[in-house]
Amino acid sequence: MQIIEDVNIEGGDFILSWTGTAQGRVNSGTYAASPVRVTGLPAGTAVTVEFSMGTVKDVQFESGTTPTPFERRFYGAELAMCQRYFWKLQQIIELGVPQAGDRVCNLVALPVEMRVNPTVENVTYWASAGSAGTHTLIFLTKDMFVRK
């Protein structure tokens, strides 16, 4: 199941097309073979696309009533679109060794603007002596955060 963000739906008629043996449906409609037409979607509506068991390849959900040939995207463009929803910070390299009681601030720019303000899980650092500690991450915007 794939949810298409409401900001990507301008309203009107849409068509879902793919190749493969699975059947598809839009917004809990009836499963059918490709293509599936959807008429009169209101603007700003989130859309759910779902497939039955089988194979699925070259999926497109696009405005209009006639499917167009599958459009391949460059890897970097596809990655940037995915990173709007998830991005994992691998590590921050600190220069210098903070002393007890010091506050260390790191400003981290996210690779792309996130869809919403991010949440953080499992933030741990290792001091030079090998003991674990924690940092607090404060999000300034959907573009960057500060680690304190």
Average pLDDT, the chain: 80
Distance CA 142, CA 34 (A): 37
59-100: pLDDT as tens digits: 999 999 999 999 888 999 888 888 888 887 766 655 555 555
| In a shared domain, residues 8 and 53 | yes
26-42: pLDDT as tens digits: 998 999 999 999 999 99
User: Domain containing 114: what range?
Assistant: 87-148
Number of domains the chain contains: 2
Domain final residue, candidates 22, 49, 72? 72
Is the overall model pTM greater than 0.85, yes or no? no
Across the beta sheet with 36-41, the strand order is: 36-41, 12-19, 57-63
